């Protein structure tokens, strides 16, 4: 049987493109190798020092975060503490919970894991029944609700489990992905590929607010004054 000329031409074009791509990659690797070969001891020492400085800076940043309560999932006693917590940290996840709501226990389990993994973000919880002012101002009507606070402003909310596959059995990776969608953590995965088993009915319409704030400004410990 004769080969279709169009198919044959397409194959040749594809082969040429693959060869060109391979050639470009090889040239880039050769350039990097040549660059390394041309480095003298002073250059290599300079590169080493820069890496050490970067590591030292990263370690100092981590220690600063830990001193502010990052790295652990913990409960704060009052609304006043909430204002102080969000002032101290650039990224905060606050779980508004209620003791009688069993789904809050599910959230607790996942947040405890993520708090240790994502030290760059502060993870806290606040009893909704002890924080009527915040619940009213943030329109929190469903428990559990996660308030995602960036630079002192409420950037987003995760209300119930709708954004998590609408199931009690969602994974820690699913919640991690959802937090990554709001840029509240440093997410290394693919945001376009949610870690669900099935997502036929799931879209990308989150319960997201346009940088909602209390009274349209940054949180302040005096915000409850009229």
Q: Which residue has the higher pLDDT, 11 or 63?
A: 63
User: Would you state the pLDDT for residue 135?
Assistant: 96
Residue 106 pLDDT > 90, yes or no?
A: yes
- pLDDT class of 45 with cuts at 50, 70, 90: confident
The mean pLDDT of the chain is 82
Range name among 45-49, 181-185, 210-214 with the lowest pLDDT average? 210-214
- pLDDT class of 54 with cuts at 50, 70, 90: confident
User: Would you state the pLDDT for residue 125?
Assistant: 98
Edge-to-edge strand order for the sheet containing 91-97? Answer: 73-75, 122-127, 91-97, 145-150, 153-159
User: Would you state the pLDDT for residue 217?
Assistant: 37
What's the whole-number mean pLDDT along residues 96-111?
Answer: 97
What is the residue whose two structure tokens read 């074009």? 13
User: Would you state the pLDDT for residue 24?
Assistant: 82
Residue 137 pLDDT > 60, yes or no?
A: yes
User: Would you state the pLDDT for residue 211?
Assistant: 42
Domain boundaries, the chain: 66-182
What's the whole-number mean pLDDT along residues 170-184?
Answer: 96
User: Would you state the pLDDT for residue 129?
Assistant: 95
pTM: 0.68
Task: Write the pLDDT tens digit of every residue in 84-95.
Answer: 999 999 999 999
CATH class of the domain defined by 66-182: alpha beta
User: Would you state the pLDDT for residue 13?
Assistant: 65
- State how far the Cα of 140 lies from the Cα of 130, in Å rounded to an integer: 13
Residue 60 pLDDT > 80, yes or no?
A: yes
- State how far the Cα of 6 lies from the Cα of 12, in Å rounded to an integer: 10
Task: Write the pLDDT tens digit of every residue in 118-131.
Answer: 999 999 999 999 99
Enumerate long-range contacts of 165-172, CB under 8 Å, 24 or more apart: 165/196, 165/197, 165/199, 165/202, 166/201, 166/202, 168/103, 168/106, 170/110, 171/195, 172/110, 172/113, 172/114
What's the whole-number mean pLDDT along residues 52-58?
Answer: 82
What's the whole-number mean pLDDT along residues 4-18?
Answer: 64
Percent of the chain with pLDDT over 90: 55
């Amino acid at each position: 049987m004769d080969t279709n000329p169009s198919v044959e031409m397409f194959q040749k074009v594809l082969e040429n493109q693959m060869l060109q791509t391979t050639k470009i990659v090889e040239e880039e690797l050769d350039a990097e190798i040549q660059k390394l070969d041309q480095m003298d001891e002073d250059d290599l020492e300079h590169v080493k020092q820069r890496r050490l400085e970067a590591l030292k800076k990263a370690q100092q940043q981590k220690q600063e975060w830990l001193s502010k309560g990052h790295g652990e999932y913990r409960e704060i006693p009052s609304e006043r503490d909430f204002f102080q917590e969000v002032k101290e940290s650039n990224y905060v996840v606050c779980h508004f919970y209620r003791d009688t709501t069993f789904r809050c226990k599910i959230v607790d389990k996942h947040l405890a894991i993520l708090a240790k993994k994502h030290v760059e973000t502060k993870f806290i919880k606040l009893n909704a029944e002890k924080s009527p002012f915040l619940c009213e101002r943030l329109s929190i009507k469903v428990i559990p609700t996660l308030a995602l606070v960036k630079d002192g402003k409420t950037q987003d909310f995760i209300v119930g489990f709708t954004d998590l596959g609408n199931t009690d059995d969602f994974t820690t990776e699913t919640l991690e992905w959802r937090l990554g969608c709001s840029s509240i953590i440093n997410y290394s995965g693919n945001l376009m590929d949610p870690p669900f088993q099935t997502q036929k009915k799931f879209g990308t319409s989150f319960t997201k607010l346009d940088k909602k704030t209390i009274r349209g400004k940054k949180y302040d410990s005096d915000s409850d004054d009229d």
